[in-house]
Amino acid sequence: MYCNVPGGVMKSGLAMYDTMRIMPYNIQTVNMGMCAQIGAFLVAGGTQGMRFGLPNSRFMMQNPRIEEPVDNEGNPRQRVMQATEMKLEVQEVLRDKKRMLEGFSAFTGRSIQALQRDFGRDFYLNAYEARQYGLIDSLLLPDRPSKLATDEIKFGAFGGKEQRYQPNKPASVSDDGPRTSGLG
């Protein structure tokens, strides 16, 4: 499953996750760009050992929210409801948050209390941080070493030693799959 999901509808994403879980085969997931909220959940929900990210991919960990209603032109509309309806809607969002925290706990091995602290605010993770956090298992890197950055790359006309790109050592090539890095 290749993902580039900058958010999405929580219920639809959970339906996709349920479908992933009932499939009789492993589900490989790849973050190809930005995976926010339910997109991050889906990538992390892939089969352990088969969750990947491209080097420049990003994850945005975000709490579920009540979406503001808009008209056909995208302008905000006033939300009119009784207090009891609002209470029910808030309870539903809190139930979604609990479900997300339980899932992320299972995917990453982190405690729900640690995740609650992390989810106090929205936060972004690059691919390397997502690997350390446990959302993905490894990075997909170019097959050809010539495509990896070298220390011969200079940015602009600066050319000073402190201005040069200092790459990490390239990952090893696996005989049975794509070039990956288990950095973390």
Q: What is the pLDDT of residue 172?
A: 42
Q: Is the pLDDT of residue 17 over 90?
A: yes
Q: Which domains does the chain possess? A: 2-140 (3.90.226.10)
Q: What is the pLDDT of residue 57?
A: 95
Sequence-ordered list of residues with C-beta below 8 angstroms from that of 52, at least 6 positions apart, any chain: 28, 29, 30, 31, 136, 137, 138, 139, 140, 178, 180
pTM of the model: 0.73
Q: What is the pLDDT of residue 59?
A: 96
